[in-house]
């Protein structure tokens, strides 16, 4: 009887562990939401860190221009919609041929309007980055 209980509990634990494992879509969605949370909180450096930067794009001038662009974008959203108050995950869909995941997010504005955006995400060395 003890052996059966041990085997049953082992199988149950294995099943719970397998079910608790996150899918690539869930991981990409959480990463995208996290990057956009940084953006709406004015943490532009952290948002930029989420970009899948290729060689030749890491020059300081380019980086500075991107940070200025993010700041201007957020100022424009503040003026147009009373800012972005929240980011929500809608869904995600993986393109196995192109090897990226489209994450669908909803930006919830201060004026009660919403906008759905698509954030292409790619996995690089175990980390999800915005394309």
Low-confidence ranges of the chain (pLDDT < 50): 1, 4-5, 7-19
Q: What confidence score (pLDDT) does residue 119 get?
A: 98
Q: How far apart are the first and last CA of the chain?
A: 55
Cα distance between residue 95 and residue 82, in whole Å: 35
Question: CB–CB of 87/105 below 8 Å?
Answer: yes
Q: What confidence score (pLDDT) does residue 14 get?
A: 43
Question: CB–CB of 9/92 below 8 Å?
Answer: no
């Amino acid at each position: 009887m003890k052996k059966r209980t041990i085997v049953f509990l082992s199988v149950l634990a294995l099943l719970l562990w397998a079910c608790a494992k996150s899918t690539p879509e869930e991981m990409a969605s959480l990463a995208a939401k996290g990057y956009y949370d940084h953006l709406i909180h004015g943490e532009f450096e952290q948002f930029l860190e989420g970009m899948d930067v290729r060689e030749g794009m890491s020059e300081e001038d380019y980086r500075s221009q991107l940070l200025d662009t993010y700041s201007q974008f957020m100022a424009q959203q503040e003026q147009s919609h009373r800012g972005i108050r929240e980011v929500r995950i809608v869904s995600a869909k993986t393109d196995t041929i192109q090897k990226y995941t489209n994450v669908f997010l909803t930006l919830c504005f201060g004026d009660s309007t919403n906008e759905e955006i698509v954030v292409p995400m790619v996995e690089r060395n175990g980390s999800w980055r915005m394309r």
